[in-house]
Amino acid sequence: MIEKCRLIEFSQKGDERGHLVVVEGNQDVPFGIKRVFYIYGSDKNVIRGRHANYNTEFVLINVAGTSKVKVDDGTNQKVFHLDRPHIGIYLPRMVWKDMYDFSEDSVLLVLASQHYDAQEYIRDYEEYLKMMREGKMERGN
């Protein structure tokens, strides 16, 4: 599962007036975008995320500042550094994610494949590990 987590480099356009980065669903990201939100004002010592999702895929982009994202599939872990506004990380469903080490000016943009549904979040890490060991990748299994 962890091998599906990958960096995506978005094309940059621009001229002497500045830069422009375009991100389109089902083209630049591997899903249709149904929800967009962003995280800012997080202290350097705060850990955000701390969950996995049954159905939602994500792309995270630090449009300002920097942060780190640790992904975990119950067996392997990997840390990604988001430090350029034209680089994102794709996170498939059922991957545990922790976002942390936010710079003071960090704005972390999140693109999601699904509308918010609290029932599809797995927020207990031990429960997540048990589900992954047992191969329970769907809600209700």
Catalytically active residues are 51
CB 68 within 8 Å of CB 62: no
Cβ atoms within 10 Å, residue 131: 20
Unique residue bearing structure tokens 């389109």? 24
Q: What is the end-to-end Cα distance of the chain in Å, rounded?
A: 18
Unique residue bearing structure tokens 């990997």? 78
Count CA atoms closer than 13 A to 86's CA, side-chain side: 10
